[in-house]
Structure formats: structure tokens, C-alpha cells
Amino acid sequence: MNRVLKVTRLHMNKPGAMFGVPLQIVLVVLVVSALISLMLQRGGLDPASAEYVEGARWNQGMIWSLPGFLVYYGVQAIATTYPFSLALGATRRAHVLGTALANIVLSLFIAAVMVVLLGLELATGHWFIHLYALDVYLLGSGNPLVLFITMFLITFVATSVGGFFGAVWVRFGSKGPTVAALGLALVLVVLLLIFVPQLGEIIAAITRPLLAGVGVGIAALAIFGTWLSMRRASVR
């Protein structure tokens, strides 16, 4: 366990990259969303109308702005710290588990920041300008628990998937991630071909707990795949 914690602390040696960049992305999304909201209102939309609120609550900026960086962060978290982890005496297993624990810490941080921002959004009447950035449908419509769980899972899944591709790169070289991505894409296409006749029923049956379970499953598979790849990986 001590080796796992050493790896986790190693990842936290650069808080600017680990915590600062996601926070900056969130703040940029807030600013951009505010500008769009103000432009729509200047264009004649009534922010008090039901139509405006309905449209504003479909804002998905906070959901789609972070995963790209988080996947990248997950890749470098596994790949670039690998030799340093071994130098600290960590095993490959400890490196994978310590990185996963660091990703959990990052996920908790981002989820907590989002809840705090939601509180500010609700307390200020949506930032005083009828801005709906976090009080949106896909993040729970103002429910802090749903928001927290959603952002935690988005962050943890993205970093875990990134870690898998980072491990594949360390183990198999530059062609590894390409082959892995093509393989996963092929599996998804086959699954779509199998289930497309029932696609309407499947979509209708989707619930938040089901999506959460799928997210946990994807993260677990990604971490397991990371460990399998790192078992015989050499230092690059």
C-alpha cells in the first residue's frame, strides 16, 4: 500500500497540470457560456420565458469541455511517470493502482468544484444574467448529488481510458494505441449491428443508475487493460 501511495503522491507533484488546467477549462466554459447567453438576450430572447429556460438547460458545455484534456492527462499519467515510479521502488501493479487512486482524487476535486459552482449559480439567480451552465438537464437540473456523481464518473472514466491507451503505448510502441482504437471501434460496430433492431427499446430503458453502472464498468475494464499491458512493459 505504501508503494501505491508513493505513486499517487508522485502524480500530485504538478498540481498546476493536475488541478489547475481542469479548473481553467471550467472557468473558460463559464465565460463562453455567459457571452453566448448575453448575445442571445441582446438578440431579443426573453430570459424569463419558458422557451429560453428550456433551451438554456440543454447547455452541454461543461460535459464536453473536459474529456479531451482528461483522456490526454490519463495517457501521460501512466506513460510519463512510469520510469519515476519504478525508480521509487514501485512495482508495475503499484504504478497502475497508484495512478488509479490519483485519478480518483482528481475526479473528486472536479466533482466538488462543480458542486460549489452549482451552489453559486443557484444562489446568484444563475450568475445574475440567467446563465445556465451547471443547472442543466444532463447534470441533474440543479441536483448536487447527481451533478457530483456525473462529473466524478466522467472524469474517472476519461482518465482511466486515457491510462489504458498510455499503457498500450508503453508496452507496444506507437502503433499500439492505433491498433487498440481500431479494435475497440470494430467491437462497437459489431455491437451496434447486433442491437440496432432493439435500439429504440434500449434508449428508452436508459436510466442514470444504468449509465453510472456502465461508466464504472468501462473504468474497471480500462484499469484492468492497463495492468495487463504494463505487466511486461519496459521503460521507454
DSSP summary character for residue 138: G
Rounded to whole angstroms, the Cα distance separating 230 from 130 reads 49
CA angle 231, 235, 236 (to 5 degrees): 130
Q: Considering its fold, how many domains does the chain have in total? A: 1
Average pLDDT for residues 95-103, to the nearest whole number? Answer: 96
Residue bearing cell 497540470: 17
Rounded to whole angstroms, the Cα distance separating 17 from 133 reads 24
Q: Domain span at residue 70?
A: 2-172+206-230
| 178 in a structural domain | no
For CA atoms 111, 117, 122, 125, the dihedral sign is: negative
| 99 in a structural domain | yes
- Whole-prediction pTM value? 0.93
| 180 in a structural domain | no
Q: Which among 201, 110, 103 is positioned nearest to 157, based on CA atoms?
A: 103
**Using one digit for the tens of pLDDT, what is the confidence trace for 22-45?**
999 999 999 999 999 999 999 988
CA angle 185, 188, 190 (to 5 degrees): 110
| 35 in a structural domain | yes
